[in-house]
Amino acid sequence: MGVLKGLLGVVVGLLTAVLGTVVGVLAAVVWLVGAVLCVTILLLPLGIPVVKLANRLFGLAGQLMHLP
């Protein structure tokens, strides 16, 4: 039973690391879109919340990958 729990822990750890990587890539794309919106002066009010969302996604990705 202990071996099964250990194996399950490894699988869950790998799954969260992969999910964290995917969320990190998504956050990078969202941040890039927000940066382009911020460069366009007329769309600046849309760009700032998108960049803030990307920063929150980066934080979530870090938590998923178990980074301190």
Contacts of 15 (CB under 8 A, 6+ apart): none
pLDDT tens digits, one per residue of 8-51: 988 988 999 999 999 999 999 999 999 999 999 899 999 999 99
Q: CA–CA separation, 35 vs 28, rounded Å?
A: 10
pTM for the structure as a whole? 0.82
Consecutive H or E run containing 66 = none
Q: Where are the domains of the chain?
A: 2-64
For residue 48, give the nearest of 59, 40, 38, 58 by alpha carbon. Answer: 38
The Cα–Cα gap between 10 and 47 comes to 39
